[in-house]
Amino acid sequence: MAVREVLPTTLTDIIQETPRVCTFRLALPEQSPFSFRAGQFVMASIPGFLNTKGRPVRRAYSVASSPRDLEKGFLELTITRVGDGGFFSNRIHECRPGDTINIDGPYGSFILRPSDEPPPERYLFVASGSGIAPLRGMIRTILMEDRKVPVSLYYGYRSPSDFIFEKELTDYALVRSGFELVTALSRSEKAMPEESPVPNFRKGLSGRITRLLPELVREADGADIYICGPPEMVGQSETFFREAGYPEERVHKEQW
């Protein structure tokens, strides 16, 4: 059941993913009716953090965990501290375990295909920066539900220290059969790809992930495609997949 009223959660853990990005683990109240579908977002607010009109400052954040994680009583938001002027993102990075974070939702139609529908031939995820957040929730869901469908993740970020969820995603590529991971560095023009122990994991290619799509994706192959990142990256990816012959209804996108 969706909760439209504001739900108080307790911040239990803060995981430093990169110098500018943290994952905030939020514990739900016991017997909370909150539910969501992988890929959706919530509106977050902080008690007492008000705008000039005296109303709560609210921002949208994709749920980066899986609906399956709700069974353990938590959800996660992965938030970039945007720096100068980042009103809410700076404030939440000052929160500490034990603090209350309010959420309402879920919202949005960027949703992983449910497991009771016929599966696609492949899941193909394309992300840059914090756009990895909802895709990580989807990927966790596919793996936790043991869906027997190959997964490809093409992920772009600026420089080596900006790889969000590095350990978790690397572990998937090394351990899970049928999981392909390719990462690209947009700010390291002379980056040398790192040696990889497995052929399905290529790390640190040079250039924007959108520029690499033509060499990574050769033909329309029945994949469900999920793209998330800044508008320019999402637009370029969408154009690429349309021109590569993927039907529009298979290409899903979220941008911010």
Ligand X SMILES: Cc1cc2nc3c(=O)[nH]c(=O)nc-3n(C[C@H](O)[C@H](O)[C@H](O)COP(=O)(O)OP(=O)(O)OC[C@H]3O[C@@H](n4cnc5c(N)ncnc54)[C@H](O)[C@@H]3O)c2cc1C
Residues of this chain that bind ligand X (CB under 6 A): 41, 59-62, 78-80, 82, 85-89, 108, 130, 133, 254, 256
In angstroms, what is the minimal distance from the CB of 167 to ligand X? 19
For residues 162 and 180, which CB has a smaller minimum distance to ligand X in the complex? 162
d(CA 8, CA 250): 36
Residue with tokens 């977050």: 44
175: left (phi over 0), alpha (psi -120 to 50) or beta: alpha
For residues 40 and 183, which CB has a smaller minimum distance to ligand X in the complex? 40
In angstroms, what is the minimal distance from the CB of 46 to ligand X? 11
Nearest residue to 229 via CA among 200, 204, 208, 199 = 208
In angstroms, what is the minimal distance from the CB of 148 to ligand X? 28
Tokens at 42, concatenated: 């919530």
In angstroms, what is the minimal distance from the CB of 221 to ligand X? 28
For residues 170 and 255, which CB has a smaller minimum distance to ligand X in the complex? 255
Calculate ∠ Cα 50-54-58, nearest 5°.
Answer: 40
Tokens at 43, concatenated: 């509106």
d(CA 150, CA 170): 16
For residues 57 and 244, which CB has a smaller minimum distance to ligand X in the complex? 57
In angstroms, what is the minimal distance from the CB of 200 to ligand X? 26
By three-state DSSP, how is residue 38 classified? coil
7 has which bridge partners?
103
For residues 113 and 136, which CB has a smaller minimum distance to ligand X in the complex? 136
